[in-house]
């Protein structure tokens, strides 16, 4: 038996401001830090050892993981950072207020940008300070792998090979894994694990700072799946 715990970072500063964030490296808001600590408490209650800890290159996910580890009283543990687990890139929408963009493009179009499978916003100009090539965090990422914009499909095709290569094999070897990442990178993992089609995946909501625990049996089949904070649980269309 193995466990996979997926945690979307706690509320970020730009979540609070209702802005499209994507690859911009913003930190946690005060509420997000509390959510991360609560995640740690909920995970602690499960009373099993976690063998591997993964996160993205983005500080809101990294700091969520740090707060979880602090709550678990785990020190001097290796954490694995992967840009492949980054949030989806929102292209030219990056930094803009979601409600204001609904007025500009219409609510239906913004929903399509946010939730459709293969619709990407216009590319972000490379001279824009929010473009990843202008953000120090990504200096080690090969230029050919840095996007100008992404659809959910693009994000899936970035996340899935990494998940299969670096995480799935650990689960198959009965190891327990925690991944602190982002709404869309977690959505991509869930699409694969639950074999969701392109119509169902946009309906899957991933709440901030609420660990999603997935239990696998010895045949690597999912036997249980639930959010640990039931009061803040979203409907799981997957299981």
Choice among 13, 35, 45, 87 that is catalytic: 87
Burial level of 207, CB count in 10 A (0-12/13-18/19+)? middle
Per the structure block, which two tokens stand in for 148? 């100008």
H or E element in which residue 65 lies: helix 59-71
Residues in contact with 104: Cβ distance below 8 Å, sequence separation at least 6, in sequence order: none
CB of 55 closer than 8 Å to CB of 80:
yes
131 is catalytic: no
Burial level of 176, CB count in 10 A (0-12/13-18/19+)? buried
CB of 58 closer than 8 Å to CB of 23:
yes
H or E element in which residue 55 lies: strand 52-55
Choice among 9, 89, 131, 182 that is catalytic: 9
* Dihedral over Cα of 105, 111, 117, 122: its sign: positive
87 is catalytic: yes
Q: What are phi and psi of 53, to 5 degrees?
A: -125, 120
Catalytic positions, written as ranges: 9, 87
């Amino acid at each position: 038996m193995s466990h996979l715990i997926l945690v979307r970072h706690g509320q970020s500063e730009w979540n609070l401001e209702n802005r499209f964030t994507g690859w911009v490296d913003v930190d946690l808001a005060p509420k997000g830090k509390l959510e991360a600590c609560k995640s740690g408490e909920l995970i602690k209650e499960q009373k099993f050892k976690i063998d591997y800890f993964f996160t993205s290159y983005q500080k809101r996910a990294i700091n969520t993981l740090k707060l979880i580890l602090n709550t678990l009283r785990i020190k001097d543990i290796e954490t694995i950072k992967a840009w492949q687990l980054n949030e989806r890139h929102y292209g030219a929408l990056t930094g803009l207020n979601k409600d204001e963009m609904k007025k500009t493009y219409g609510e239906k179009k913004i929903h399509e940008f946010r939730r459709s499978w293969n619709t990407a916003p216009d590319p972000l100009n490379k001279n824009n300070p929010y473009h990843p090539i202008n953000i120090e965090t990504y200096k080690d990422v090969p230029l050919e792998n840095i996007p100008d914009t992404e659809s959910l499909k693009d994000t899936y095709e970035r996340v899935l090979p990494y998940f299969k290569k670096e995480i799935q094999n650990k689960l198959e070897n009965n190891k327990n894994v925690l991944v602190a990442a982002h709404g869309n990178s977690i959505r991509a993992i869930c699409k694969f694990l639950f074999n969701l089609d392109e119509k169902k995946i946009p309906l899957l909501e991933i709440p901030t700072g609420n660990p999603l625990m997935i239990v696998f049996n010895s045949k690597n089949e999912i036997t249980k799946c639930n959010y640990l904070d039931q009061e803040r649980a979203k409907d799981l269309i997957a299981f």
